[in-house]
Amino acid sequence: MKIAVVGAGSTYTPELVSGLSRERARIDVRELVLHDVDAERLEVVGGLAQRMLARQGYEGRIETTGELERALDGADFVLVQIRVGGQEARLRDETVPLACGCIGQETTGAGGLAKAFRTVPVMLSIAEAVRERAGTGAWIVDFTNPVGIVTRALLDAGHRAVGLCNVAIGFQRSSARLLGVEPERIVVDQVGLNHLTWVRAVRLDEDDVLPQLLAEHGGVLAEGIELPRRLLDELGAIPSYYLRYFYTHDRVLAEQLGETPRAARVMEIERELLELYRDPQLAEKPAMLEQRGGAFYSEAAVGLVRSLASGDGAVHEVDVRNESTLAGLAADDVVEVPARVARDEIVPLPQAPLAPELLGLVQHVAAYERLAAQASASGDLDVARKALLAHPLIGQHELVEGLLEPLLEPREAPV
């Protein structure tokens, strides 16, 4: 099997390739190719990845390249984790909306549209190259944010793609610690859209233990997502961290106006990480990587690839077409739900209808995502305006007029 990682200059990459190597008894990875357009970052990150693999006794081939076609030739899986425009663009996504009195966040609201507008055209170009150069039936596994919109654009264009986020696996690991059990025994029934999900059940050996978690650890869970404990009890579900932008909008906006943007902190963390990665003696993941965010990202990626390749039938939280999974949404909407993954097959688990207080918000944001994917793929500014109007965190014509130009320029940016 050949796996290509596009955007391998990411500081997450060493952990990802190390995870693939550790699973080599179940995933026969003979070739790993790391691609990035930033040669310096690729050299530094790829060097650490190679040292980590050597330490693990990996006997396959690992290569770094700046040539996309070379990376994709004959690949069975293409894992894409690009950040178009880098952290500088993220900083703009997080700060431009604040000037208009809107939440500044790189995947949610106005910032998410700006990120999609930059990212979708590049992703579609990569996907066309996958179609031409990769192996027959190759999968594109998308970690690139905003995952829901990017995955929708890929599927709309007819590509074999699935989206993946680390929120569900993070909750699986934290709930396992609270319950004192192995994470593998837990299936998180988290449903909605990417970065707009609720945990409605936590199945431990098929038994739903969410009521127990709420009763015994509700305060800890609420604190972790920065939402009131009472809200969790009222919903009978645990919202994702990203729901705080909706449920506590004014408080979050006030906090953002008075604090250093997350992008600025991440820039500093990445500079320090890359300096650590340059150490030729370093052959393991540094503890500082945990400050970068994206916890358990590599485990989610490795697990999904393992299931698609081996057909083990494990359940993974993925972003796929809705079809008939969630009532009240269109068949072609992209939802984030648990699915059983067999060899080359992803089948969402059956889901009860969403409660009205959840469904209304999901429908609202799904309409925005439909418009955002269309606008990002076409570059149509009129559709982009409609997307901002449709988003529940914006929705006012005056705000749209003030946001659109500073958000969407420059459209072209390096990967």
As annotated, the active-site residues are 242
Which of these, 245, 277, 286, lies nearest to 262 by C-alpha position? 245
Q: What is the DSSP letter of 107?
A: S
What torsion, rounded to 10 degrees, do the Cα atoms 259, 260, 261, 264 define?
A: -170
Q: Smallest Cα–Cα separation from 409: which of 388, 382, 373, 379? A: 379
Question: Which residues, in sequence order, are bridge partners of residue 306?
Answer: none
The C-alpha atoms of residue 275 and residue 277 are separated, in whole angstroms, by 5
Long-range contacts of 202-210 (CB under 8 A, 24+ apart): 202/175, 204/179, 209/179, 210/237, 210/238
Structure-token match 């509700």, residue found: 218
Angstrom distance (rounded) from CA 218 to CA 221: 5
Say whether 396 sits in a helix, a strand or coil: coil
Contact 161, 188 (CB under 8 A): no
Cβ(216)–Cβ(205) below 8 Å: no
Q: In 10 A of CB 59, how many CB atoms?
A: 10
CB of 51 within 8 A of CB of 79?
Answer: no
List the structure tokens of 168.
């569900």
Tokens read off for 393: 């965190």
Check if the beta carbon of residue 258 is closer than 8 Å to that of residue 273.
no
- As a dihedral over the C-alpha atoms of residue 270, residue 108, residue 339, residue 375, rounded to 10 degrees, the angle is -110
How far is the CA of 32 from the CAs of 4, 18, 45, 248, 329, in angstroms? 6, 11, 14, 43, 38
